[in-house]
């Protein structure tokens, strides 16, 4: 069993249950109750799941949508800060096992920038996770430039996590199995990341770092086509779209226990741009751990994906 660091591992802070319950309205109530118990546990249950998967360290983040669904900006700012303080208190109990991603209310971009700086400098978090758009506003919006300036200055990666689209796609109407995590979220989140690429966001913020789960939300599979169509449509960027994806975006294995997309992501992005995540408790940590333990890889590469790439990326000690 290879030692692992997991990067998309979720929790809920007190008062966040109502935000989260909107995402499990179509889930069996017993399963939802079990998920809630796992999300609010930082002790034996979570640590046992980590140990069973070989996860030595987990970077924890709020289960979405969190304050991205809060209509009142002052409330969102206050509640996000409380969640960050709560997570910091839990990390202090087990700093050997846990780190954190900041939760931010981007409804107030300058406030979010200040909170990100507080979380990075005072709470020693690893960056931030933002649960997709905020009432239809995506992260390339000009009102967020001050936020990105601060993130870039801090060297703070921004993990873009899936959320429901602004409006359900008519193409999925009548086929409930394609909603949310099956297909809808991947298209939504991949599109969010592509907005950053095609809008010139990474020309404006060349040192910005973005993390995507699910091995890049299908982006690694489509690099050639992005470049080809950008030429066809006369998109004016300093680099080819694939260059930004390779240089400004890293991906994790969350929810993707399959060799084919893993090998594609490694070949497309580079072996140092792929990192491990289990997506606990929404996916089985044991299944994710066993997949990485046994998928056909050179052993040094397995260790890098499992732990070392993330440790280097976040400036933490690498595994032995």
Q: Which residues are catalytic?
A: 279
List, in sequence order, the alpha helices (H) in the chain. 17-21, 29-39, 44-53, 73-93, 109-121, 145-154, 184-198, 201-204, 214-217, 223-232, 241-248, 259-269, 285-294, 299-303, 309-314
Local structure of 191: helix, strand or coil = helix
The answer to whether 163 and 213 have CB atoms below 8 angstroms apart is no
Sole residue written with tokens 């978090």: 125
Residue/partner pairs of 162-168 with CB below 8 Å, 24 or more apart: 162/64, 162/131, 162/132, 162/186, 162/188, 162/189, 162/213, 162/214, 162/217, 163/64, 163/65, 163/68, 163/131, 163/132, 163/133, 163/188, 163/189, 164/23, 164/65, 164/132, 164/188, 166/133, 166/135, 166/136
């Amino acid at each position: 069993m290879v030692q692992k660091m997991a990067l998309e591992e979720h929790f809920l802070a007190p008062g966040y249950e109502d935000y989260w319950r909107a995402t499990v309205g179509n889930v069996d109530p017993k399963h939802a109750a079990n998920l809630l118990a796992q999300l609010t546990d930082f002790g034996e249950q979570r640590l046992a799941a980590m140990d069973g998967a070989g996860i030595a360290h987990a970077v924890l983040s709020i289960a979405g949508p969190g304050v991205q669904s809060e209509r009142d900006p002052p409330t969102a700012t206050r509640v996000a800060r409380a969640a960050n303080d709560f997570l910091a208190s839990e990390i202090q109990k087990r700093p050997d096992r846990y780190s954190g991603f900041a939760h931010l209310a981007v409804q107030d971009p300058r406030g979010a920038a200040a909170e990100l700086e507080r979380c990075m400098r005072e709470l020693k978090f690893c960056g931030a996770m933002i649960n997709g758009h905020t009432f239809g506003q995506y992260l390339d919006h000009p009102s967020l430039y001050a936020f990105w300036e601060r993130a870039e200055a801090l060297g703070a990666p921004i993990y873009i996590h899936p959320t429901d689209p602004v409006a359900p796609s008519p193409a999925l109407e009548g086929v409930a199995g394609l909603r949310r995590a099956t297909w809808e979220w991947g298209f939504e989140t991949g599109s969010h990341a592509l907005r950053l690429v095609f809008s010139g966001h990474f020309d404006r913020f060349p040192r910005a770092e973005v993390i995507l789960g699910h091995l890049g939300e299908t982006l690694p599979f489509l690099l050639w086509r992005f470049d080809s169509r950008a030429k066809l449509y006369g998109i004016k960027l300093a680099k080819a779209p694939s260059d930004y994806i390779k240089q400004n975006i890293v991906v994790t294995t969350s929810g993707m226990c399959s060799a084919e997309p893993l090998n594609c992501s490694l070949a497309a992005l580079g072996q140092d741009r792929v990192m491990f995540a289990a997506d606990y408790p929404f996916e089985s940590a044991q299944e994710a751990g066993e997949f990485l333990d046994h998928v056909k890889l050179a052993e040094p590469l397995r260790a890098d994906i499992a732990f070392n790439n993330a440790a280097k990326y976040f400036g933490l000690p690498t595994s032995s």
